Amino acid sequence: MPQRFPNVTLEVRSEMLTPAQVGGLLEGSITVGLLRPPVAADGLVVEVLRHEPLVALLPVTHPLATQINLELTDLREEPFIGYPSSPPSSVYLAVTSVCRQAGFSPQVRQEVAETSSLVALVAAGLGVALAPASVRHLRINGVTHRPLRGPAQATVPLAVAYQKGPVSPLVRGYLETTRAVLSSQKQPSPGPSFRPEEPFLPDSI
């Protein structure tokens, strides 16, 4: 991207949940969003780039941390650290849905809006969590990640979003680069896609 557009400065706003990104896209304060569908907003193009499986996050001292992978029901009695429920994030809806399919509702002890905070609280031993597999790139001591086996291998989508209408060469170049980077990465193992059980409310990551 810098080589193609040497005179352009890319401003990145990290840890911005999907509802905030949707609002920013509609009002024009941000140009492109990288977010988690579903998105119920007119005026936006939402292009799903890949699907990521949910993985379990555990403190390294947790008894289940010695297992190679987990059944979701192994976490039935565990306190959870979760993403926001009001407005509900996409991952919150995915986690709630997949846990219900496994026969229980997660006991959420604390909700956080930032993935780094979620991982840090798990590392501190305050609970377990489910998060998209890309969370493994966030290196925080004290936490380990385990894949889920069986029918609980839900996936959540990752998409790029931008306003409908003419696309500038700069935005087109960013979109092409994003597609190329994600397509060059190893794709996660396929699993059943998450579909909300409830009507969609404004959502987030």
Q: Report yes or no on 83 lying in a domain.
A: yes
For the cut 50, the answer to whether the pLDDT of residue 186 exceeds it is yes
The reported pLDDT for the residue numbered 24 is 92
Provide the pLDDT for residue 6. Answer: 64
pLDDT number for residue 95? 93
Q: Kindly give, in sequence order, each residue whose CB lies less than 8 Å from that of residue 108, ignoring residues fewer than 6 positions away.
A: 79, 80, 81, 82, 85
Flag whether 187 is in a domain: no
Cα–Cα distance for residue pair 202/17, rounded to 1 Å: 10
- Let me know if residue 25 belongs to a domain: no
pTM of the model: 0.77
pLDDT mean across residues, the chain: 84
What is the band of 55 on the pLDDT scale with cuts at 50, 70, 90? very high
Q: Please report, for the domain that includes residue 58, its CATH number.
A: 3.40.190.10
41 assigned to some structural domain: no
**164 within a domain of the structure (yes/no):** no
User: Residue 60 — pLDDT band, cuts 50, 70, 90?
Assistant: very high
CA-based torsion, 67, 71, 75, 76: positive or negative? negative
Total domains in the fold of the chain: 1
Exposure string for 123-141, b = 16+ CB within 10 A, e = fewer: beeebbbbbbbbbeeeeee
Residue 190 has pLDDT above 50, yes or no: no
Nearest CA to 110 out of 131, 79, 136 is that of 79
Least confident among 52-56, 71-75, 81-85, 148-152 = 148-152
| Segment 19-46, tens digit of pLDDT | 889 999 999 999 999 998 888 888 999 9
Q: How many CA atoms lie within 13 A of 181 on its CB side?
A: 8
Q: What is the pLDDT of residue 153?
A: 60
Determine the pLDDT at residue 178: 86
Find the domain containing 56 and state its range.
Answer: 52-152
pLDDT in tens, 73-114: 999 999 999 999 988 888 898 899 999 999 999 999 999 989
Residue 89 lies in a domain: yes
Residue 130 located in a structural domain: yes
DSSP structure string for the chain: -TTT-TT-PPP---S--HHHHHHHHHHTS-S-EEE-S----TTEEEEEEEEEEEEEEEETTSGGGGSSSB-GGGGTTSEEEE--BTTBPHHHHHHHHHHHHTT---EEEEE-S-HHHHHHHHHTTS-BEEEEGGGGGS--TTEEEEEB-GGG--EEEEEEEEESS---HHHHHHHHHHHHHHHHSPPPPP-PBP--SSPP-S---
Could you tell me if residue 114 is inside a domain?
yes
